[in-house]
């Protein structure tokens, strides 16, 4: 009825209530919106703590996020980066990317720290090294279309974009589910797998 998307409405709420340059407060304000106003398919605070723990343990210098959406996961990742690290995030929907860009900059992250790349992941991944300077990633966070998880993991492998000992963190593999991705990760012999049990966001 308003002529704006729920993502744009969430951003207007952020502008009105969040503290610019404070990533933690931006995430809290997102959570407030999603709990009390409209549901957004963001990582949310419960699963967010798992992401924060992995970042703390791994201290990755080069992070790749597949599925920026509104920028919630991007801000979550960016605030946990060690000094000098860089985050590349890919979003296929230009409308979501437009909101995410504003959210990322509102949180205080520059293009030197967070680069948002708009385009389908299957087209962007093969160009990451030549066009965007990502030699390889220490951490990959997958939170885009579940049916693309396996395809994109194979693309990352074939283009040698995974650093030795890299961590792949994939959201929602049990529900709505990414069974082919999960089966491959468990049986191909390249990965040690761990499933983190968590509640659905919000």
Which of the following is catalytic: 31, 101, 152, 201?
201
CA proximity to 103, closest of 2, 199, 33: 33
Active site annotation includes 171: yes
Is 201 among the catalytic positions?
yes
Crossing angle of helices 23-36 and 44-58, in 10° steps, is 150
Which of the residues 172, 186, 190, 194 is marked catalytic?
A: 172
Question: Catalytic residue at 152?
Answer: no
Q: Which of 11, 46, 16 is nearest to 30 (CA)?
A: 11
Does 143 participate in catalysis according to the annotation?
Answer: yes
Name the catalytic one among 146, 152, 190, 194.
146
Active site annotation includes 22: no
In the chain, the N- to C-terminal Cα span, in Å, equals 24
Which candidate in 31, 101, 143, 152 is catalytic?
Answer: 143
Measured distance CA(142)–CA(124) in Å, rounded = 14
- CB of 167 within 8 A of CB of 60? yes
Catalytic residue among 31, 101, 152, 171: 171
Which residues are marked as active site?
Answer: 143, 146, 171-172, 201
């Amino acid at each position: 009825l308003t002529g704006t998307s729920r993502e744009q409405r969430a951003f207007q709420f952020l502008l009105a209530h969040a503290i610019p340059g404070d990533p933690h407060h931006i995430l809290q304000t997102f959570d407030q919106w999603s709990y009390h106003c409209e549901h957004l398919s963001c990582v949310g605070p419960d699963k967010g703590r798992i992401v924060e723990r992995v970042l703390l343990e791994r201290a990755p210098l080069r992070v790749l996020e597949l599925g920026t959406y509104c920028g919630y996961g991007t801000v979550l990742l960016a605030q946990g980066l060690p000094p000098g690290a860089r985050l590349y995030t890919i979003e296929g929907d230009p409308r979501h990317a437009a909101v995410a860009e504003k959210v990322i900059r509102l949180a205080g992250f520059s293009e030197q720290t967070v680069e948002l790349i708009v385009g389908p992941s299957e087209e962007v991944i093969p160009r990451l090294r030549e066009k965007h300077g990502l030699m390889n990633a220490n951490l990959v966070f997958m939170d885009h279309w579940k049916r693309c998880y396996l395809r994109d993991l194979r693309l990352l492998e074939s283009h040698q974009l995974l650093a030795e000992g890299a961590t792949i963190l994939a959201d929602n593999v049990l529900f709505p589910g990414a069974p082919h991705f999960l089966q491959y990760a468990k049986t191909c012999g390249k990965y040690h797998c761990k499933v983190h049990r968590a509640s659905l966001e919000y």
